[in-house]
Amino acid sequence: MTINRREKLFFLLGGMILLLFFYYLFVVGPAVSKERRLRVEISKNEKKLAQMIELKNKWERFKKARLQTEQAMSKRGKGFTLLSFLEGISRKVGIHDRIQYMKPLSSSKETGSLKLVGMEIQLDSISIGQLVRYLYEIEYSDELAKIARIRIQKLTRGDFQSLRVTLQVETYVPSRS
């Protein structure tokens, strides 16, 4: 049996096609599949990395805020009380004679080495300007005090208008462990 030139060409072409098929099946196909899996894995890891960077940035901001808080609390001194702080501000603003009462809030929460303490104050017959200045002095002081709640009532006596304000101020102090 002799194989003519045309049959040799068909066998050669069939062998090449078969060789290319096996090459694709065992080399190119797995490589493409692995590349696809690696791209998906890279995408997942990039998202995880971005999340880790964001968490690191949050942690750094938290540490910075904590350090600033600790420094502010250390500047207060050992004898700091919320009552004396609020009385000092009311004298500074000129409304100390308008204080109806100041009483401590009973709900004090402890979080680790800090304790949240609060004071309720009622001011009577004050102007809007005095109230704004008083609130500003509390909120923007270096004593870490904040207004937790405020209630404002308008008082009218003849032609004279003023405000009755009840507010709750809170701050953290070191807990007595």
Whether 108 has a pLDDT exceeding 70, the answer reads no
Neighbours of 127 (CB within 10 A): 13
Asked whether residue 150 falls in the same domain as residue 89, the answer is: yes
Asked whether residue 61 falls in the same domain as residue 115, the answer is: no
Supply the pTM of this predicted model.
Answer: 0.65
Whether 133 has a pLDDT exceeding 80, the answer reads yes
Asked whether residue 52 falls in the same domain as residue 66, the answer is: yes
Q: Which domain holds residue 155?
A: 82-174
Asked whether residue 61 falls in the same domain as residue 88, the answer is: no
- Look up the CATH number of the domain holding residue 91: 3.30.70.60
Asked whether residue 67 falls in the same domain as residue 87, the answer is: no
Last residue of a domain, one of 24, 54, 76: 76
User: Which pLDDT band, with edges at 50, 70 and 90, does 160 fall under?
Assistant: confident
Query: What confidence tens digit (pLDDT) does each residue in 33-89 have?
Result: 999 999 999 999 999 999 999 999 999 999 998 888 888 888 887 788 899 999 999
The pLDDT value given to residue 40: 96
DSSP state at residue 95: -
Last residue of a domain, one of 54, 76, 98: 76
CB 10 within 8 A of CB 4: no
Looking at this protein, which amino acid is placed at residue 141? S
Greater model confidence, 38 or 7: 38
Query: What confidence tens digit (pLDDT) does each residue in 84-106 have?
Result: 999 999 999 999 999 999 999 88
